[in-house]
Structure 1
Amino acid sequence: MTASDASLSQVPGPDPATEAARRAELRKHKTIATGLLAIATLIYVTMRWLEYQGNPGAWIGYVRAASEAGMVGALADWFAVTALFRHPLHIPIPHTAIIKRKKDQVGHALSEFVGENFLNAALISDKLRKARIPERASDWVVDGGGAHRVSQEVGKVIDLTVNGINPEEAEHVLRALVIDKLSEPTWGPPLGRGLEQLIQEGRTEPAVEAIVIWMDDKARTSEDFVVRLIDERTPSWAPRFVRELVGSRVYRELVEFTGDVRCDPDHDARRQLRSFIYQLSQDLQHDEKMIARVEGFKNDIMTSGPVTAMPGRLWESVRATLTTWSRDPDSLLRRRIAQWVEDYGRRVQEEPELREELERRIVGAASYLADNYAGEVTGIIGETVERWDAQEASDKIELMVGKDLQFIRVNGTIVGALAGLAIYSLTELIFALG
């Protein structure tokens, strides 16, 4: 196969069974048209033979003229029809095999015809306005069950989309958007600035209160722990009752202290805790050792197994959830989509302004596409025809329209015969009167 042959694409056509049926129909109509030509020829030859035999019948002239004109009409139309697709009798007569020779011109002419008559912005705008697309679409959505159909189709799109994405690519994207973005900046200063702003806005007080309450509650439930701890730290030679007494005393002092801190909003311990939080905010911003410590903490977190595995698990969770929701007609996602579409459809029905706005946008978008891209769209026709093999294209076109063209041959035979009969009859009448 040559390079030029390889550049030619196969002409699209029907399935083999349909093509075989069309070829059979074309052969049948060709046979009928050719049969009429043969009948006209036979009648003409017979009439001429009768004339040479001296048969005096006046009717012979009429029949001969009709058959002769019918034969001429049949031959002329056979030539015209055949010349569209091939050279008649394989003789390279000029201006024959028109489709085969001028395939490219026909394709570009067809593309221009479609562009001028079908992708015309004014025509499309007029048709779209008459179609009342927003009104009919809203009626279908609200009254024709269209909301559930839209929900079903959107669910299919979501299903195909999420399951068509390569999991490795999705994991890579999530890692770049989440993990890498979180790892890029230094955590210390931003955390310090955020904590300082929370302090200024008084939003750290709930945290201070929570710590104080937790310490008080913890102290009140730690008597056994305090007594045991004091007992372990007291010299073994001390009497046991002394150790228990000291432990109980320490516990009571601890509970009293945490209780005072809990009840006094301006307790010194609270001020020390606030001072610690403020100093932490400053160290996070300005202390290099603290910043480096936070960075080490950050690196430990971001390189840990659970975090590095998070993008893959996150995508798999999202994919499985969306797949289940998109396939289940009773899922929250599908029901929300159907409800949103139905609500919007009712708005279109009830609000003329919205309906007009939608129609204006549809017409405007179609006009814009027609004005700016009609050439590209119709150009596909010409470019596609150019890539077709000339002989195959000619055969396919003949297969599509050849049956109807055979009626031209049939009509040529019949009309020619009637015209010949009329001309002969008129001539005989004129000379008879003369």
Structure 2
Amino acid sequence: MTKLRAPLSSSEAVPAPLRRMRLVATGLLVAMAAIFLLARAFDHLHPALGYVRAFAEAAMVGGLADWFAVTALFRHPLHLPIPHTAIIPRNKDRIASTLAQFLRDNFLTPKVVARRMQRLDIAAAAGRWLANPVHGDGRIGRGASRLAADFLESLDQERLGGMAKGAIAARLRAIDIAPLLGQALGAAIAKDRHLPLLDGMTRWAARALDANEHLIREMVHSRAGSIMRWTGLDETLANKIIEGLEKLLVEMNEDPGHPLRLKAEEGLERLAYDLQHKPELRERVEAFKLEMLENQAFQRWIDGLWETSRAALLRLARDPGKALGGKMGETLRQFGVTLQEDRKLADTINRFARRSAVGAATDYGDGIVRLVSDTIKGWDAQTITGRLENAVGRDLQYIRINGTLVGGLVGVLIHTVDTLL
């Protein structure tokens, strides 16, 4: 696989503090060398200079040893191919695999994600922000809004819209709608919520009768015999039929205990039961649903639903303050208050968030691990060396400084023991 040089970023550029620490560590080593040369040249003048020479000599050894050790991690010292140097560049593929596996085993396992999510009260945090968004961190809100808007606008709208509309249609196809309709109708009947429906049906029937009286008269006239038409009895019969139907509809509308109204209620109850338990009716409803989904008018409705939703999301992302005003904002604020006060609802949302996170770790954990591993393996030696060295930072140079000073102290100790013996 071709190793690519990743673009230079601010994380790869050597930070100024790190450059200063390198100069300090190197300068200290050069100073020890200069002190050693001076002390060696003049140590015959005074016995104390022997201690200075021992300190400087051991400090040089310690500083050089730690410089070699630090440098050997990332590159060949003095560009010499010494064995077991440039450890990180030589083993970067193994490091990438190990790091990715460490990430997988310690951060992306369902058990770890579930334990971490158990400590988070997402519902309460969301409730506090929704209930009083103006007191939140404005920078976070503005940044999140810009990010969301840029993200929505950068996506391929045709492809995204197709995915969204496809998901809606797939979800509708997967729903067994007949039992849901039966349960909804049964629940409405149990709480007398079907009564406005019956009232509306009788009023609609009365208006339909009034608008189509001429059809009843024509039907009676065409079916009546010549004698009835000659005597005008057909007109009288038609009037009686119309008056009787009008009276029946008025009585049904005014009398909750009217026999036909009770029959209608009985029919609704039977329909609610059949929708849930009769396979043949459920099949007919399912066939009607699929036919509706294939209808072009329904497809245009889904298209409009997606465009409306996308436009609303963009308005919300571009101007959350304005979007959170009015009825929508009031609804969201009330929902935020409810999230803080209703622990049962909050627990449900937290449980859903926890399950979603655990599911994401289960489904996409391996993909994230491969992304990390393949990305690091794709870097060249210079890239991974620069990034890891900058990540560790000044501590590497402190190792050199400490090695120089500790080496010097050990040298003084050894010289003291040698002098005393």
In the TM superposition, residue 92 of structure 1 has moved relative to its aligned partner by: 0.9
SS at match of 2:241: coil
Q: Which residue is equivalent to 1:47?
A: 39
Q: Distance in 2 between matches of 1:92 and 1:49?
A: 35
Q: Distance in 2 between matches of 1:163 and 1:125?
A: 31
Aligned match for 1:264, one of 240, 248, 251: 240
Q: Which residue is equivalent to 2:114?
A: 125
Q: Distance in 2 between matches of 1:326 and 1:395?
A: 40
Q: Which residue is equivalent to 2:183?
A: none
SS at match of 1:264: helix
Does residue 1:212 correspond to 2:227, yes or no?
no
In the TM superposition, residue 321 of structure 1 has moved relative to its aligned partner by: 9.4
In the TM superposition, residue 380 of structure 1 has moved relative to its aligned partner by: 1.8
Q: Which residue is equivalent to 2:315?
A: 327
CA displacement, residues 296-332 of structure 1 (integer Å, 9 cap, x when unaligned): xxxxxxxxxxxx9998899689847973796387999
Letter in 2 for 1:424: H
Q: Which residue is equivalent to 2:91?
A: 102
Q: Which residue is equivalent to 2:30?
A: 38
Q: Which residue is equivalent to 2:289?
A: none
Would the aligned equivalents of 2:130 and 2:335 in 1 still touch at CA under 8 Å? no
What percent identity do the matched residue pairs reach? 30
CA displacement, residues 53-97 of structure 1 (integer Å, 9 cap, x when unaligned): xx1522122111111111011100110111112111121111101
Would the aligned equivalents of 2:12 and 2:383 in 1 still touch at CA under 8 Å? no
> Greater CA radius of gyration, 1 or 2?
1
Q: Distance in 1 between matches of 2:41 and 2:383?
A: 45
Cα 1:146/1:377, change in 2 over 3 Å: farther
Does residue 1:11 correspond to 2:6, yes or no?
yes
Cα 1:406/1:349, change in 2 over 3 Å: same
Question: Where do 5+ consecutive residues of structure 1 fail to align?
Answer: 178-200, 217-255, 268-307
In the TM superposition, residue 370 of structure 1 has moved relative to its aligned partner by: 3.5
Q: Distance in 2 between matches of 1:162 and 1:401?
A: 36
Cα 1:316/1:257, change in 2 over 3 Å: farther
Q: Which residue is equivalent to 1:355?
A: 346
Q: Distance in 2 between matches of 1:385 and 1:325?
A: 36
Cα 1:340/1:146, change in 2 over 3 Å: farther
Question: Where do 5+ consecutive residues of structure 2 fail to align?
Answer: 170-200, 218-231, 244-295
Q: Which residue is equivalent to 2:68?
A: 79
Cα 1:102/1:162, change in 2 over 3 Å: closer
Q: Distance in 1 between matches of 2:81 and 2:112?
A: 43
Does residue 1:137 correspond to 2:129, yes or no?
no
Would the aligned equivalents of 2:213 and 2:242 in 1 still touch at CA under 8 Å? no
Cα 1:162/1:364, change in 2 over 3 Å: closer
Q: Greater shift after overlay, 42-51 or 316-325?
A: 316-325
Q: Which residue is equivalent to 2:157?
A: 165
Letter in 2 for 1:45: L
SS at match of 1:72: helix
Letter in 2 for 1:365: S
Cα 1:67/1:378, change in 2 over 3 Å: same
Q: Which residue is equivalent to 1:89?
A: 78
Q: Greater shift after overlay, 156-165 or 107-116?
A: 156-165
Q: Distance in 1 between matches of 2:150 and 2:98?
A: 42
Does residue 1:405 correspond to 2:396, yes or no?
yes
Would the aligned equivalents of 1:163 and 1:319 in 2 still touch at CA under 8 Å? no
In the TM superposition, residue 49 of structure 1 has moved relative to its aligned partner by: 2.1
Q: Distance in 2 between matches of 1:128 and 1:413?
A: 47
Aligned match for 1:63, one of 30, 34, 52: 52
In the TM superposition, residue 420 of structure 1 has moved relative to its aligned partner by: 1.8
SS at match of 1:131: coil
SS at match of 1:265: helix
TM-score, normalized by length of structure 1? Answer: 0.57
In the TM superposition, residue 384 of structure 1 has moved relative to its aligned partner by: 0.8
Cα 1:163/1:111, change in 2 over 3 Å: closer
In the TM superposition, residue 350 of structure 1 has moved relative to its aligned partner by: 1.9
Would the aligned equivalents of 1:11 and 1:396 in 2 still touch at CA under 8 Å? no
Question: Any residues of structure 2 matched to 1:338-377 within 5 Å, and which?
Answer: 338-371=329-362, 373-377=364-368
CA-atom RMSD in angstroms: 4.8
Q: How many corresponding residue pairs? A: 315
Would the aligned equivalents of 1:159 and 1:323 in 2 still touch at CA under 8 Å? no
Q: Distance in 1 between matches of 2:108 and 2:59?
A: 43
CA displacement, residues 353-403 of structure 1 (integer Å, 9 cap, x when unaligned): 222233333333333443554333223211111111123322343344354
Cα 1:82/1:311, change in 2 over 3 Å: same
Would the aligned equivalents of 1:141 and 1:345 in 2 still touch at CA under 8 Å? yes
Would the aligned equivalents of 2:324 and 2:332 in 1 still touch at CA under 8 Å? no
Would the aligned equivalents of 1:66 and 1:419 in 2 still touch at CA under 8 Å? yes
Q: Which residue is equivalent to 1:424?
A: 415
Would the aligned equivalents of 2:152 and 2:314 in 1 still touch at CA under 8 Å? no
CA displacement, residues 148-188 of structure 1 (integer Å, 9 cap, x when unaligned): 979x969x769947996349x87xx89xx9xxxxxxxxxxx
Would the aligned equivalents of 1:158 and 1:322 in 2 still touch at CA under 8 Å? no
Would the aligned equivalents of 1:158 and 1:323 in 2 still touch at CA under 8 Å? no
Q: Distance in 2 between matches of 1:163 and 1:335?
A: 29
Q: Distance in 1 between matches of 2:370 and 2:124?
A: 34
